[in-house]
Amino acid sequence: MPKLPLTKPKVVAAKLQRIGFIKDHQSGSHLIMYNPKTKKRAVVPIHTKDLPKGTLSHILKESGISLEEFLKA
């Protein structure tokens, strides 16, 4: 299994959009994305630094996306 990459939040949001998530709304520095097919939400903190690996792992878990699917997008 590949390791979690260090990724910028904007890249994570773009990959989630390619997978099928749409921007639901933004609350402060957090972007809330929603997938109408799976009815799942993902909260992406919008900052300039790379996301910590634990945060990226949590985003993938709450959105129901495998790491392989995320890396392909």
* Domain extent listing, the chain: 9-72
Distance, CA of 42 to CA of 61 (rounded, Å): 9
What pLDDT is stored for residue 1 in this prediction? 64
Q: What is the CA radius of gyration of the chain?
A: 11
Q: Taking residues 41-47, report their average pLDDT.
A: 95
The bridge status of strand 30-35 relative to strand 40-45 is: antiparallel
What pLDDT is stored for residue 55 in this prediction? 95
What pLDDT is stored for residue 3 in this prediction? 87
Q: Taking residues 27-50, report their average pLDDT.
A: 95
Which CATH number describes the domain made up of 9-72?
3.30.920.30
pLDDT of residue 13 exceeding 80, the answer is yes
